[in-house]
């Protein structure tokens, strides 16, 4: 999962073309500075493009950080949300919500899960998975002090539990004391993980991993690594939890990231693209670990009619419009184009990696070019990108992106690299 902020804050100097607007000044005077924002005020969007208040057009390859799967102002999503708003937008989970049941049914029928719990974000979905794993450990395995293994360079959210699960100290700094019960290992390192399981002597209740590390540098999971973890979890009675917040809902070129790995998790989480920009998250699990009962967990807004109408629209449109296949095809085109740029700029670029429409352009370590600097230059030329660490630029356009838009983005990146050189 990625945070709702840039990994490396970027301070941009205003130019004649990008003067601070009244809206930005008003914003800065009243909103907490938890983001290092670009000096751009966006006011509308359509498809894969957005416009700022000065009328400048941008090709959006951020998509709300892998969230706007259907792009901006998609007619189906507009209709679904508008119709639901006219009908019933929120009621308590004290009552049956038909739209929630319909979305849960779709997710279960299109995944390995049997049950769904709805919340508002990826962090909350991961929080729910952590709680479920801990309860399962206590009542099914008799573990009094359960431990969850997570990966270094991971990202699982901003709550106290999920920043503890996140294997990056920069997100944890000054938020001590962190929550106990987590242990970190290097990603894609099987020997380290097996050693940790052995050393923790029966206390491991779950292994929580991203199928592809998004914020950690767009690092795809190794298929053999995950298949051995699945075997190990089966052998030891450990729950396998996959964080699908960023790669799920078609972004990888398959509906779920775990399909790229040839395994099934026991629990997995979804958010971001699930609502196409309308806030919603989900924690899904298999029946055997469905140990929550009334009062164990809850969410006031989770799974309300409005959010679920949006989620169901996104889910159905992914299938009806062939967007998962489009993600695979356009992702292959994007990766090929990025690799061509690597060949053209060997002193600046190292390689490209990713699945489908989550691609990372990895910069050379031994030069002064940083991902935030390249993102800044691309923005000035009309392309929105997002860093995934100091040396990786992330490309996560809407799943409706066209071949022509991929080509245009690649041209802008080439122009930006030329300008930097």
Catalytic machinery residues: 155, 243, 272
**Omega before 177 cis (within 30°)?**
yes
Judged by DSSP in three states, 264 sits in: coil
Cα 204 from Cα 306, distance rounded (Å): 38
DSSP calls for 65-109: HHT-TT-BS-HHHHHHHHHHHHH-----TTS--HHHHHHHHHHHH
Q: In whole angstroms, what separates CA 265 from the centre of its chain?
A: 17
DSSP calls for 355-417: ETTEEEEEEPTTSS--HHHHHHHHHHTTEE-EESSTTEEEE---TT--HHHHHHHHHHHHHHH
Alpha helices (runs of H) in 67-222, residue ranges in sequence order: 75-87, 98-109, 122-141, 160-165, 169-172, 190-199
Cα 323 from Cα 77, distance rounded (Å): 14
Residues forming a β-bridge with 386? 394
Closest CA to 77 of 280, 244, 252, 355: 280
Cβ–Cβ under 8 Å, residues 378 and 10: no
Judged by DSSP in three states, 354 sits in: strand
Q: State whether the Cα torsion 127-284-320-409 is positive or negative.
A: positive
Name the phi and psi angles at 273, rounded to 5.
-65, -15
Cα 381 from Cα 341, distance rounded (Å): 17
Strands 57-60 and 383-384, bridge-based pairing: parallel
Residues 6+ apart with CB under 8 A from 191: none
């Amino acid at each position: 999962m990625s945070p709702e902020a840039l990994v490396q804050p970027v301070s941009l100097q205003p130019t004649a073309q990008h003067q601070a607007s009244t809206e930005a000044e008003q914003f800065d005077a009243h909103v907490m500075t938890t983001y290092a924002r670009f000096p751009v005020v966006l006011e509308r969007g359509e498809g894969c493009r957005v416009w700022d208040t000065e009328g400048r057009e941008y090709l959006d390859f951020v998509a709300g950080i892998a969230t706007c799967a259907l792009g901006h102002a998609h007619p189906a999503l507009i209709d679904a949300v508008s119709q639901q708003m006219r009908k019933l937008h929120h009621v308590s989970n004290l009552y049956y919500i038909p739209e929630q049941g319909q979305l849960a049914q779709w997710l279960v029928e299109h995944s390995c899960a049997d049950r769904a719990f709805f919340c508002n974000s990826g962090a909350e979905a991961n929080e729910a998975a952590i709680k479920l794993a801990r309860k399962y450990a206590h009542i099914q395995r008799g573990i009094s002090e359960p431990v969850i293994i997570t990966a270094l360079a991971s990202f699982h959210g901003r709550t106290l539990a999920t920043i503890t699960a996140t294997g990056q100290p920069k997100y944890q700094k000054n938020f001590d004391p962190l929550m106990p019960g987590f242990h970190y290992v290097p990603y894609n390192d099987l020997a380290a993980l097996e050693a940790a399981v052995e050393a923790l002597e029966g206390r491991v209740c779950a292994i929580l991993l991203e199928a592809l590390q998004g914020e950690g540098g767009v690092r795809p999971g190794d298929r053999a690594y995950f298949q051995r973890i699945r075997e190990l979890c089966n052998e030891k009675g450990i729950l396998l939890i996959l964080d699908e917040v960023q790669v799920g809902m078609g972004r990888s070129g398959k509906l779920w990231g775990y399909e790229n790995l040839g395994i099934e998790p026991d629990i997995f989480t979804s958010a971001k693209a699930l609502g196409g920009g309308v806030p919603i998250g989900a924690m899904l699990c298999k029946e055997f670990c469905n140990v929550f009962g009334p009062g164990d967990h809850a969410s006031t807004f989770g799974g309300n009619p409005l959010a679920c109408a949006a989620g169901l629209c996104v889910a159905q449109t992914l299938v009806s419009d062939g967007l998962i296949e489009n993600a695979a095809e356009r992702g292959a085109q994007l990766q090929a184009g990025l690799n061509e740029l690597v060949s053209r700029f060997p002193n600046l670029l190292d390689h490209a990696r990713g699945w489908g429409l989550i691609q990372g352009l990895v910069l050379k370590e031994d030069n002064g070019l940083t991902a935030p600097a390249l993102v800044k230059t691309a923005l000035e030329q009309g392309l929105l990108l997002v860093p995934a660490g100091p040396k990786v630029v992330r490309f996560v356009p809407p799943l409706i992106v066209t071949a022509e838009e991929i080509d245009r983005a690649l041209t802008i990146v080439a122009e930006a690299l030329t300008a930097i050189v």
